[in-house]
């Protein structure tokens, strides 16, 4: 793998229409600068940037795609982000910590960070994926970001992964927390479920208890036909909000 990466001119690294290998090599070097790490095994970073469409079209290049590194990087990021949240928000209990960690490593956040540090520009895509706008797809960018973190971990250990991710986490966490302060539970749950599951939550009132002057409503929130959680409130709206908050607290890892 390292031998292939050391001879980048032989492996058509860019995968970009009308672009040359020298321009891609400049982006590759700029990315290492943005990562704050120069790889001992350049092949690891090359593989992290290689989409399956490129690997399929260039099977003889021997590098392979980034899917295994993505798997590893996902696990590393969960740990690094969780440890960072634990250290920086000592006033948070498990629920807020879990929600913030999940927001830090969700697809949209990691895709934006990939653009920010230049991962998107350095990805290797097959012709069809490039033509279809694959360089701007959040899923591809998120996968590449996770793969790069996995490559950093293999090349230089957990410290390299932390040193790269943690400076990015602060501004993102501040923006997430500021936004969530103004978003109600139903809106937040809907945004998350549509982005991550392609499902819009449904609500239904399943019970009414008590006299008219002090009635309590019970609501359920459903993903498809599955009941995710329940909540109670003095109005139907507050019961739905309580159910949404309970779902938000329970479904995230």
Residue pLDDT, tens place only, 143-189: 999 999 999 999 999 999 999 999 999 999 998 888 765 567 888 88
Contact indicator for 182, 206 with CB cutoff of 8 Å: no
Q: Buried (b) or exposed (e) across 197-228, using 16+ Cβ within 10 A?
A: eeeebebeeeeeeeeeeeeebbbbbbbeeeeb
CA-nearest of 68, 60, 73, 55 to 113 is: 73
- C-alpha–C-alpha distance, residues 80 and 74, integer Å: 10
For residue 9, is pLDDT > 70?
A: no
Q: Please state which of the ranges 8-12, 37-41, 81-85, 118-122 shows the lowest mean pLDDT.
A: 8-12
pLDDT at 155: 97
Contact indicator for 53, 123 with CB cutoff of 8 Å: no
- C-alpha–C-alpha distance, residues 46 and 63, integer Å: 7
Q: Would you list the domain boundaries of the chain? A: 2-180, 185-251
- Span 185-251: which CATH code? 3.30.160.20
Tokens describing residue 204: 């239904």
How does pLDDT run across 181-207, given as a tens digit for each residue?
556 788 888 888 888 888 899 999 999
- C-alpha–C-alpha distance, residues 158 and 77, integer Å: 10
For residue 15, is pLDDT > 80?
A: no
Domain 2-180 has CATH 3.30.930.10: no
- C-alpha–C-alpha distance, residues 64 and 140, integer Å: 16
- Is the whole model's pTM more than 0.75, yes or no? no
What average pLDDT score do residues 5-19 get? 39
Contacts 24+ apart (CB under 8 A), 219-226: 219/243, 221/189, 221/246, 221/247, 223/193, 223/197, 223/199, 224/199
pLDDT at 20: 64
3-class secondary structure, 166: helix
- C-alpha–C-alpha distance, residues 183 and 168, integer Å: 23
Active site residues: 74, 146
């Amino acid at each position: 793998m390292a031998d292939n990466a050391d001879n980048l001119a032989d492996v058509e690294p860019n995968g970009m229409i009308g672009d040359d290998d020298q321009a891609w090599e400049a982006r590759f070097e700029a990315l290492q600068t943005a990562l704050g790490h120069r790889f001992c095994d350049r092949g690891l970073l090359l593989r992290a940037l290689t989409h399956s469409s490129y690997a399929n079209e260039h099977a003889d290049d021997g590098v392979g795609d980034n899917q295994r590194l993505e798997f590893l990087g996902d696990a590393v990021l969960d740990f690094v982000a969780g440890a960072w949240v634990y250290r920086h928000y000592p006033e948070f209990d498990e629920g807020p910590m879990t929600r913030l960690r999940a927001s830090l490593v969700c697809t949209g956040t990691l895709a934006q960070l990939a653009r920010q540090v230049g991962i998107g520009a350095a990805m290797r895509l097959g012709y069809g994926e490039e033509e279809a706008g694959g360089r701007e797809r959040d899923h591809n960018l998120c996968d590449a970001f996770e793969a790069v973190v996995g490559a950093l971990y293999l090349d230089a250990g957990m410290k390299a992964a932390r040193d790269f991710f943690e400076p990015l986490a602060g501004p993102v966490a501040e923006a997430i927390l500021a936004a969530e302060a103004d978003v109600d539970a139903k809106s937040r749950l809907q945004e998350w479920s549509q982005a991550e599951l392609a499902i819009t939550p449904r609500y239904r009132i399943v019970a009414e208890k008590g006299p008219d002057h002090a009635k309590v409503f019970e609501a359920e929130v459903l993903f498809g036909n599955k009941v995710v959680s329940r909540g109670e409130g003095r109005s139907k709206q507050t019961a739905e909000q309580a159910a949404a908050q309970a779902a938000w607290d329970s479904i995230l890892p």
